[in-house]
């Protein structure tokens, strides 16, 4: 491979803002694996956000990119899996598997797509120093003939269109809106774009915590919500506390610590078979490897209000943020019924636009 922009390339990133800023190019925020694609003739490489190659996990996509892309190019975009009209991030996670036979099976069962939103090189020309106002038309021209499963991300200069996308596209599994300055060159690894994400709140049961790597203080709170059968399901964690607050939380929660966790709703978390019938903390996976997933069990008596962006199945897609304790709420009142469900929106409408 001999391209004017060579791997690895750290993709350009975005900083969170509360409102959609004016005077920019707007795109939907895709919920998949951020990927930089390199093609030089028959050679195709998929680079992850961290620079590690993803190529072996998506053989069907490599074949499609070889067919649909210009002979020599570098693209920034997102690898996604779409099914039944919305994105499926959990199915995307399953694609990262060490067994080649499993990779081949999933390539047929849950094929991936690539959504391109920037062009970093074309032919012998590097475009990193070109402004977005020139890179975007070049991207559209380069992919004008591309067909499923290779798409060009919809973009608009109209702020009202971006607001409509923000309201509608969540129902297709998208993750908000990204705003990009038009005069901006491509700056790998720098947070020079802006992202606007949905934020909602939920009342959750605090049923345990993991200690911080620095010592016996709170690293993250383990959150639970009761399902329709009254079973407490692990839905995610609340983290990102200042160190002083981590110590305070450890002291606050000390009276709830359980020396014997056998009676805890998640008491069987260390047994692999228990994870098949419920959402419990501590499940080992190819993502966690040998990481210590032990946690401190608490009597599930305290309720916390947290902020979250959206759900992925029955859990929070990302780490939730602490808002306040809710002494006025009973743990049994924390159910899935409280969660707002976005209005469904067909992902095909997004792709076609």
Q: Domains of the chain: which residue ranges?
A: 13-194, 200-338
Rounded CA separation 283/277 (Å): 12
Task: For residues 82-89, give the mean pLDDT.
Answer: 85
For residue 59, give the DSSP letter: H
Q: Is 29 marked active-site?
A: yes
Specify the higher pLDDT residue, 102 or 290.
102
- CB 275 within 8 Å of CB 283: yes
Tokens of 223: 């959150």
Catalytic residue (choose from 29, 180, 195, 213): 29
Cα 111 to Cα 77: distance, rounded to the nearest angstrom: 17
pLDDT at 243: 94
Query: What mean pLDDT is predicted for residues 148-172?
Result: 92
DSSP state of 257: B
Query: Does 140 have pLDDT greater than 70?
Result: yes
62 contact partners, CB below 8 Å, separation of at least 6: 44, 46, 55
Region for residue 98 given its phi and psi (left: phi exceeds 0; alpha: psi -120 to 50; beta: otherwise): alpha
Q: What is the mean pLDDT of the chain?
A: 89
89 vs 127 pLDDT, higher one: 127
The lowest-confidence range among 104-108, 156-160, 192-196, 272-276 is 272-276
pLDDT at site 251: 95
**Spatial separation of the C-alpha atoms in residues 194 and 178, rounded to whole Å:** 6
Class of the CATH domain delimited by 13-194: alpha beta
Region 36-62 average pLDDT: 95
9: pLDDT strictly greater than 70: yes
- Cβ contacts of 136 within 8 Å, gap of 6 or more: 25, 118, 119, 155
pLDDT at residue number 286: 46
pLDDT > 90 in the chain, percent: 65
- Which architecture, in CATH terms, is 200-338? Beta Barrel (2.40)
| Average pLDDT of the segment spanning 137-155 | 96
pTM of the predicted model over 0.85: no
* pLDDT band with cut points at 50, 70 and 90 for residue 285: very low
Average pLDDT for 276-290: 54
> Is 288 a residue whose pLDDT tops 50?
no
Residue 291 CA to its chain's centroid (Å): 21
pLDDT in tens, 319-353: 999 998 998 789 999 998 888 666 566 777 776 66
């Amino acid at each position: 491979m001999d391209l004017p922009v060579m791997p690895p390339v750290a993709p350009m990133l975005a900083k969170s803002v509360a409102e959609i800023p004016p005077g920019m190019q707007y795109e939907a925020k895709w919920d998949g694996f951020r990927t930089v694609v390199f093609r030089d003739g028959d050679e195709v490489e998929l680079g992850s956000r961290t620079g590690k190659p993803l190529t072996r996990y998506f053989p069907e996509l490599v074949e499609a990119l070889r067919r649909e892309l210009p002979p020599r190019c570098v693209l920034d975009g997102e690898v996604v899996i779409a099914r039944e009209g919305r994105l499926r991030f959990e199915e995307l996670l399953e694609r990262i598997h060490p067994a080649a036979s499993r990779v081949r099976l999933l390539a047929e069962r849950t094929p991936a797509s690539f959504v391109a939103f920037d062009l970093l090189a074309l032919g012998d020309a590097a475009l990193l120093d070109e402004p977005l106002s020139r890179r975007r038309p070049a991207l559209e021209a380069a992919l004008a003939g591309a067909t499923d499963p290779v798409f060009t991300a919809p973009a608009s200069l109209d702020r009202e269109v971006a607001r409509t996308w923000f309201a509608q596209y969540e129902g297709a599994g998208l993750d908000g809106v990204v705003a990009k300055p038009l005069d901006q060159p491509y700056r790998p690894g720098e947070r020079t774009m802006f992202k606007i994400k949905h934020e909602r709140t939920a009342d959750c049961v605090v049923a345990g915590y993991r200690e911080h790597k620095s010592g016996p203080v709170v690293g993250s709170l383990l959150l639970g919500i009761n399902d329709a059968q009254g079973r407490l399901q692990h839905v995610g964690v609340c983290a990102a506390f200042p160190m002083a607050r981590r110590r305070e939380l450890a002291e606050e929660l000390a009276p709830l610590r359980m020396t014997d966790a056998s009676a805890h709703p998640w008491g069987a978390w260390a047994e692999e078979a228990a994870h098949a019938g419920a959402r419990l903390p501590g499940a080992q996976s190819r993502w966690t490897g040998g990481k210590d997933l032990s946690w401190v069990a608490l009597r599930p008596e305290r309720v916390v209000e947290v902020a979250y962006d959206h759900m992925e199945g029955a859990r929070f897609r990302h780490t939730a943020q602490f808002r306040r304790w809710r002494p006025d709420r009973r743990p049994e009142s924390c159910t899935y019924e409280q969660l707002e469900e976005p209005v469904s929106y067909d992902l095909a409408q997004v792709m076609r636009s």
